[in-house]
Amino acid sequence: MSGRHNKTERREIRHMRIRKKIRGTTERPRLSVYRSASHIYAQIIDDLRGITLAAASSRDELQTPAGTTGKVAASSAVGKLLAERAKARGVSTVSFDRGGYLYHGRVRALAEGARSGGLEF
């Protein structure tokens, strides 16, 4: 490592540092977030079994609150949809893996949407 990294490499380094500490178990799976330029994706993963329990993204058919547009509102709707799908699979508590992104904006909106949908973390 040269000590100089671009934006993507710095995020991946932060993500690896977070992943050393966070493991998804059967009792408390990991809620993983990926944010692209135009969409946001979230999965609930059991790392011990290596399976995805629930997933949602802004590419799904979403119902955003009336009068709201934009990526932050869509992220909140993704969080609520993910919480709904997780509840259907019997998941109520998760470990939040922000994927190396700052806990701000769309990532925060997704987390708050998941909390309002009934997930605990």
pLDDT reading at 80 higher than 70: yes
- What's the pLDDT score for residue 25? 87
- What's the pLDDT score for residue 23? 87
Q: How many CB atoms lie within 10 A of CB 90?
A: 7
Is this model's pTM higher than 0.85 or not? Answer: yes
- What's the pLDDT score for residue 106? 96
Mean pLDDT for all residues in the chain = 92
- The domain tally of the chain equals 1
Does residue 1 lie within any of the structural domains? no
Does residue 2 lie within any of the structural domains? no
Mean per-residue pLDDT for 73-101? 95
Range of the domain at 106: 7-116
pLDDT reading at 6 higher than 90: yes
- What's the pLDDT score for residue 67? 67
Question: Tell me, what CATH number does 40's domain have?
Answer: 3.30.420.100
In the chain, count of helices (H) and strands (E)? Answer: 3, 4
- Percent of the chain exceeding pLDDT 70 equals 96
- What's the pLDDT score for residue 69? 75
